[in-house]
Structure 1
Amino acid sequence: GHADLAWYLKFGRLYDFRGGGRASGRETVARIAAGAVAKMILRQVLGVEVSSHLVELGGVAIGRDSYTFDEVVKAWEKPLPMVDDEAVKRAVDLLIKTATEGDSVGGIGEVLTTEVPPGLGEPVFDKLKADLAKAIMSIPSAVGVEFGDGFRLARMRGSEANDQIRLRDGRPRLETNRVGGMLGGMSIGEPIRLRVAFKPTPSVRKPQRTVDLERMEEVTIVFKGRYDVSTAPKAILAAEAMTAIILVDHSIRAGLIPRVIKK
């Protein structure tokens, strides 16, 4: 489940696998630090805020379809960043139970922004949506990403999936924002919303089949070191950071943020 096999097949014995090596989630510390700066720039220059939360952990999902941006921000004051208090309790109980079993669970996180200026991204190459997807999928434990209502749109009819366009404050605005704030890969002045699926932590205290590279034979191992029951509560912060970084990058390209910010 770790990236050891891929790195070994590409780089051979030059790869240091200890602690997950270069593929460890620890590398996201630098991303989160850069993301904190990016969030500050977005807030001070454009008035755009970025936050995140968990919508599901180990199969325990929040029981709400709608919530405010402020509720998402305040969710981080809880033991787990979920807007549903009952879901928090059930998820905490699940984590404790899973830890005693020596296993792990995955989760689904959501990144939200306030209204993003329209026009970020290009029509074909360098689409904002494509760059966000690439950035999110570069996070070690990320296995899927969707924007707005995402895969649920595939099960709808066009009349249901369409975001009706209305005039609000003198300009066209979406009534529902099912597309997650982007059309044609470009921002349209709406909040951006995306969800990320994170796989369970590969390190578990249960017998696992693998290959001994010294003797080139199949063996069974049991992990004995420290491990996270779920990386999702941490990984969603990396997704939040990457979203902020990409938004700053595209805002600079669009001339909305200067390349050099002076006091």
Structure 2
Amino acid sequence: MSRDYSYLINTLGNWNFELSEHQIEQLDKYYELLIEKNKVMNLTAITEFDEVIVKHFADSLSICTVLPEDVNTVCDLGTGAGFPGIPMAIAYPNLQFTLIDSLNKRIKFLQEVVDAIGLTNVTLVHARAEEAGRDKKFREQFDLVVSRAVANIATLSEYCLPLVKVNGYFISFKSGDIDNEINESGKAINKLGGNLNKPILFSLPDTDISRSFLVINKEKNTPKAYPRKAGTPSKEPLK
């Protein structure tokens, strides 16, 4: 393999996590497919190999530092080009993943990736977040829901918590100053059946990129009124 994965390997080592040579080869094939498809379809603005390693692969797999042990089923909502879902599915072949996105072109691309790198633990779903949250196949069916989507935590919680089983988790990848966002979202999270833990702050090694995880425990069923109709959670976040 001509590309240098030492940053990723060393970073994961710092987090007491290890990928096999086969898993690194799967990530490398994913990188190739992503860059090739990105020439004809807008999947990511990050295309330089070194940046993809840090901002997509290492960032996605940083979840190894907070992943609860009692998780078997994972949903990546608003997966986009497959982050964090595809790297996670490569890293955790024993877990079952469902990746949901509202754009069918992205889902078709991800199906190409899943087929090409031989992932047998991934199901791909074309649906809006609000639709998925009301669908009996998905509502309160997952031990863990993750999202790197860019939205405030009140909006993301309305999208994601309806998918989480009681006693499961929603983990949101965040960056930047999140204090105000947290202060404004506590009541919304409680309305949806969740309880927000203290944020976990960290930096990606050898970079000035600061990140945080918001880990929300699902303590009770989400009321049937949520998620609200398409578009409403983003236009009128719960308070």
- Rg bigger for which structure? 1
Higher relative contact order (CA 8 A, sep 6+): 1
Fold match by TM threshold 0.5: no
The interval holding the TM-score normalised by the smaller chain is under 0.3
TM-score by length of 2: 0.23
